[in-house]
Amino acid sequence: MFKNIKTAQMLEQERYEAEAEKVRAERDRLLKETDYLMMPDYPIADKTALQTYRQALRDITEQTGFPFNTTFPEMPEAY
């Protein structure tokens, strides 16, 4: 009879999961945009800055406040 009733906790979990999925999708998009820059034969001046940027993207789920208060890193200027 009451199978479809959701508790406040269930609704909050659904909200969390939906927002986390949005953040991960954006993170994945940003990583894909820079994949070609990491190829060994791609001429790039500062690969270290790009590697740091990409690692920060991968670590985004570890931020305090994830997923509702997520700060995306800035892509290095040279790219």
DSSP secondary structure of 7-54:
-HHHHHHHHHHHHHHHHHHHHHHHHHHHGGGGSTTS--S-HHHHHHHH
Q: pLDDT tens digits for 33-63?
A: 999 999 888 888 888 999 999 999 999 999 9
What is the mean pLDDT of the segment spanning 19-31? 98
Show the tokens assigned to 35: 């994949």
**1 pLDDT higher than 90:** no
Query: CB neighbours (10 Å) of residue 42?
Result: 10
Per-residue confidence (pLDDT) for residue 30, from 0 to 100 = 98
Identify the pLDDT of residue 66. Answer: 97
pTM, entire model: 0.84
Q: What pLDDT was estimated at residue 29? A: 98
Query: Does pLDDT of 2 surpass 70?
Result: no
